[in-house]
Structures are given as C-alpha cells and as structure tokens.
Structure 1
Amino acid sequence: MEEVPTTVLCGERCHLGEGPTYDAATDTAWWFDILERRLFEARLDTGRTTIHSLDVMGSALGRIDAHRQLLVADDGLYIREPADGRMSLYHPLEADNSATRSNDARVHPSGTFWIGTMGRQAEQGLGAIYALHRGELSRLYEHITIPNAICFSPDGAVGYFADTRENALFRVDLDAATGLPRGAPAALITRRGDGGIDGAVVDADGLIWNARWGGGCIDVYSPQGEHLRSLRVPARQASCPAFIGQDLSRLLVTSAWQGMAEEAKRADPDRGRTFVLDVAARGRPEPDVKLAMD
C-alpha cells in the first residue's frame, strides 16, 4: 500500500459520503452525504466548507452553467441554483418506485449524464443505469445491484461502470459525440479479496482511479485493466474520488460509516471524513451537463 501526503478536507463525518465533483471556475468541491440528505460545498480558495440540508436524498450533481447545477436525487433530477440553493424538478427518475434511490453518476465529455439507481437496501438486481442525453432520459442497463464507477475515457470513446455487488468493472465502446453505447459491455476487472469496486474517475492519461470500499484505498488501473498502484486512504470505506485544484493534480476522496458496528467504528477513527490526497495526477475537468441541443 502506497502512502501519499494526505489531509482532511472536512472532518464532518458522512454516513454515506458520495458523488464528489469539482467546479474549476469557482474553485469549489461538492459532495453528498446521501443518507443524511446533505450537500457539502468546499471553497478551496478560502478553506470554508458549507453544509446544505436537502429535502431529497441527493447523490451526485453536474454543472450546467455558471448559474445552475443538475442535482441527482432519489425521485428525480433537479435544477439547483448555487447562489441561493433553490431547486426545481427537471425530470422524474424512478419516482414511482419508492424502493430505489439514485447513486453514482458522472458527465460524459459530450455533456450526456450517466446516472445509476439502486435499491435502498441494496436489493439484488433492483438498480439500473440511465443516460440523460440532450434532455431525454433512457435506460441503458437493468438488473444492477449497486451501480458505481461510472466514468469515461478522455476522448469519450469508452465508458466504464461497476456493479459493486458483483465486484466487477465493465468497459463499453461509446459514440464519443453522444456518450451512448455502441456495443455490449464486457468485464474489464473482477476483484477478489479485500474490498469492493466503488466510485471511479479517469485522468488525462486514461488511467482509472477507483475507490475500494472496505479496502481503505484508491486503486489505479490502466485502460487495459492492469493494476498499477494502491494509495492508502485513512478511512476503510473509501467511496468515490474526484480531481480537484486549479491544476487538477490532487484527489478528493469521500468515505462512509454506513453499516459499521461499534467495534469497526472504533478501529476506523477517520470513518466518514473527506480527504485530499496529493497524488500529482494529470486530472481532467468535469464537463458541463447539456440539457438540449446547442
């Protein structure tokens, strides 16, 4: 396990920290505590973190423009205005199924937003992955238990996603102009042993940076699925990474204490906190969500 310089960005413990993203225009990191319905806003230039209470169970967001975000929640997609926190429903998402909620999501270089859903109790096969392409929501994959690791190659020609329950990361060819599949997904990585494949992000060189839930680390893989590095995270249940900073060289990592017994909590004093790893990466900025044709 490789050690890199690591700091605590936010000491507030997340029950289920997830969905980190970074807005380079404002030097602001965003992430969620899904189960406690909280949205975190960290201004990196000032070091100030604000916690916003939500009326919905949010799990991810993408920037639309300087004045709007698209927030993914358990019953739909909401347009949120960061200036005052106002939210309005943009599109329902499994709103007629109270057994499911949203989970992992990420924006494709084309502006198409991939979004995962899952059972609230992680019921087998209850989840799915959707694509919001120019305002139209379509279901790409069904019968997924815990959708995670949604991310894309720098040129947009390859997509990745995982089912954490199966502990497998899948690769699929995409139309780079639309972010939609051009073929069937195939397993690229199947883990055995300590920890599960959770959230992931791809850097400018195409390397996949994957949080290992239960393994307390970030694993780095080549586009061919070769394991290159394992970087220690101070919390056992690392959940999702995002590149941050003006040069996108550092890695924000969320974590969680969901499902931990008291003994496990005592053994994991930094559980649920949010970290920054100085990894000297060549990160990529997150694309904006496109809601309609330009």
Structure 2
Amino acid sequence: MTDHGADALMEDVPTSVLSAERCHLGEGPTYDATTDTAWWFDIRERRLFEHRFADGRTVIHELPKMASALARIDDARQLILTEDGLYIRQIAGGRMELFAALEADNALTRSNDARVHPSGTFWLGTMGKRAEKAAGAIYALHRGRITRLYPDITIPNAICFSPAGDIGYFADTATNLLYRVPLDASTGLPAGEPAVLIRHEGTGGIDGAVVDADGLIWNARWGGGCVDVYDPAGRRLRSLQVPARQSSCPAFVGRDFSRLLVTSAWQDMDAAQRAADPEHGKTFLLEASARGRAEPDVRLA
C-alpha cells in the first residue's frame, strides 16, 4: 500500500517536553513498567537517558561507545546494543560487560534500531556510520546466538512485532519501505519471506515504530514531525503531531501504556534549520490515548 504522507489526518494531542536536553540523535526509547522508568539514547553523543516518572527526574549516563537500544533482562540487568556488540549493563552502577560481539571488526558500521519479540528474541539492526548504501543488516539474538536475517540494509528501522508474535515488521528508511514478515510466534524467527506493506511517499521517512495491544503500528516519521498510526493492512489511520521535525522513535509509557514518548534529533541540521525548528532534539510526551503494551524481557539463553 502506498502512503503519500498527506497531512490531512494530522492531530494535535496534548504534548509536553519530557526532557529539554537536546539529543544529537535521540533513539531507542523503551519503558520498564516494573520501575515506571523510561530509557532512551543519544547515539551520536554516547549518552543513555533514564527518566523516573515517580519523581520526574531525568538522569543522563555517559557511555564508553555509541549505543542505540536496550532490553530489560531482569530487575538488575539490561542488554545494551552498541556499535560493536551486545553488552550486559548493571542498572545499579552502570558496569558493562560484553555478551556478544557484533560487527566489531567493521569500523564503518554502528548499531541502530532494535526491539524484543514476545518470545524474548531480540531483533537488532546495524548501518553505516554515514548511512553508506547497503552497509547494514538486521539480526536476531535467539537462545544466545546471533543470526543474520536480512543483509544489505541501509538504515534499519521500525523493527516491531504483532501482539501475538506471528508477524514482524521492519523498514529501510533509505527506501521508505515497511516490510511485513510471517514469524514463528514461539521463536520470533521468520517463517516466510518479507513483503512490502507500506511504500511511503511525500514528506519525511519511515523511522522507529512500535505496535500497540490492538496490532496498530505507531511509526515516527523522520522529517515529518509526527507519528503515523497504521492498521495491519497498511492503512494510515492517524498522524499525531510532534513538536520537532526529526521525530525518530516512539515508546508506550505510563502504568496504563496510554502515553507516547517520542525522541527527536538535530542530526544533519545546520544553524538555520535548527533555528526554524526550535524544539529540535528534545524528548516529548504525547497524551495519545493509546492502548499500548509492555515491552517483553529479552531472553539470553
């Protein structure tokens, strides 16, 4: 289905700034419902953000390398996706230990989008640091082993899964194509070939995405300043305005998962473009009235 990106459906929902700290490349938001805490990254500046909703505090953790996504292992540990591999991070103190190398011998690439399948399998993407054509790939961490699923990806994004785990989605932002692939729900691994679900045309590009409890796909539109909501057939139902043009990735947050955290970025914007986009790089909270759901924990074995 072709989505021409028309703005006739654009909605203004109540929106606040969750963090005014500007991200060079804000990405990878996730929400830990057990602690009511949101996490996200500034990939370029090697920073991990931790926002505790209970007291409204945001803590910024400096990282030793570029990282783009994380998954909860248990109450004490997270799995962090970085430019050279997967690391186990101790939440208390932040100590990181290598779990598995990933493209560590390729200095041209870094990590990008990722998300956990309901089975606990972790899908993750890599890309060229300068978005070199077809330099990246999408992998799956399943039972402790990393398998390459899809090579020759330029900018992997929109990795997400249906609530039942029988459908996976992913995109290459460079082509503005969103793919749908049948999965084995018990393993999170492909059970068939990907097919194009959405061809986005017009303003902006397909970026990070998440699926709600009803199977709707919430996709941040990079360069479009919004989050588009699609049904599983690829029909666009809503577009929620985001105050920064380069909206990058959404996550459901809050005890009822009804609100939407959206990251943004000022990457590749010159001084004039940043001045014309005064909220650039900030992180937002949208009162989206979503029917979101919790992120699964990753399974390491």
- The aligned counterpart of 2:206 is 197
- The aligned counterpart of 2:4 is none
- The aligned counterpart of 1:82 is 91
Report the CA distance between 1:175 and its aligned residue: 0.2
Report the CA distance between 1:166 and its aligned residue: 0.2
- The aligned counterpart of 1:224 is 233
Q: Which deviations, in whole Å up to 9, do the C-alpha atoms of 1:54-97 show, x marking residues without a partner?
A: 00101000000001000000001000011110000000010000
- The aligned counterpart of 1:60 is 69
- In the alignment, structure 1 residue 95 sits paired with structure 2 residue 104: yes
Q: 2:172 aligns with which of 158, 163, 166?
A: 163
- In the alignment, structure 1 residue 133 sits paired with structure 2 residue 142: yes
Report the CA distance between 1:42 and its aligned residue: 0.2
- Measure, in 2, the Cα distance between the counterparts of 1:185 and 1:262: 40
User: What amino acid maps onto 1:122 in structure 2?
Assistant: A
Q: Which deviations, in whole Å up to 9, do the C-alpha atoms of 1:169-204 show, x marking residues without a partner?
A: 000000000000001101000111100000000000
- Measure, in 1, the Cα distance between the counterparts of 2:35 and 2:239: 30
- Measure, in 2, the Cα distance between the counterparts of 1:21 and 1:231: 19
- Measure, in 2, the Cα distance between the counterparts of 1:61 and 1:198: 17
Partner-residue secondary structure (3-state), 2:273: helix
- The aligned counterpart of 2:196 is 187
Report the CA distance between 1:258 and its aligned residue: 0.0
User: What amino acid maps onto 1:69 in structure 2?
Assistant: Q
TM (norm. structure 1) is: 0.99
TM (norm. structure 2) is: 0.97
- The aligned counterpart of 1:23 is 32
- Measure, in 2, the Cα distance between the counterparts of 1:225 and 1:256: 26
User: What amino acid maps onto 1:194 in structure 2?
Assistant: T
User: What amino acid maps onto 1:9 in structure 2?
Assistant: L
- Measure, in 2, the Cα distance between the counterparts of 1:58 and 1:194: 28
- The aligned counterpart of 2:286 is 277
What is the RMSD of the two structures over their aligned residues, measured on CA atoms? 0.4
User: What amino acid maps onto 1:223 in structure 2?
Assistant: P
Q: 1:177 aligns with which of 186, 195, 202?
A: 186
Report the CA distance between 1:262 and its aligned residue: 1.3
- Measure, in 2, the Cα distance between the counterparts of 1:222 and 1:167: 17
- The aligned counterpart of 1:254 is 263
Report the CA distance between 1:263 and its aligned residue: 1.1
User: What amino acid maps onto 2:246 in structure 1?
Assistant: Q
Q: Which deviations, in whole Å up to 9, do the C-alpha atoms of 1:129-150 show, x marking residues without a partner?
A: 0000010000000000000000
- Measure, in 2, the Cα distance between the counterparts of 1:45 and 1:268: 30
Identity across matched positions, percent: 71
- The aligned counterpart of 2:7 is none
- In the alignment, structure 1 residue 287 sits paired with structure 2 residue 296: yes
- Measure, in 2, the Cα distance between the counterparts of 1:157 and 1:86: 35
- The aligned counterpart of 2:131 is 122
Report the CA distance between 1:279 and its aligned residue: 0.6
Q: 2:118 aligns with which of 105, 109, 130?
A: 109
User: What amino acid maps onto 1:66 in structure 2?
Assistant: D
Q: 1:51 aligns with which of 49, 56, 60?
A: 60
User: What amino acid maps onto 1:253 in structure 2?
Assistant: V
- Measure, in 1, the Cα distance between the counterparts of 2:170 and 2:88: 25
Partner-residue secondary structure (3-state), 1:65: coil
Structure 1: gaps spanning 5 or more residues:
none
User: What amino acid maps onto 2:205 in structure 1?
Assistant: G
Q: 2:158 aligns with which of 108, 126, 149?
A: 149
Structure 2: gaps spanning 5 or more residues:
1-9
Q: Which deviations, in whole Å up to 9, do the C-alpha atoms of 1:21-52 show, x marking residues without a partner?
A: 00000000000000000000000110000000
Size of the aligned set, in residue pairs, is 292
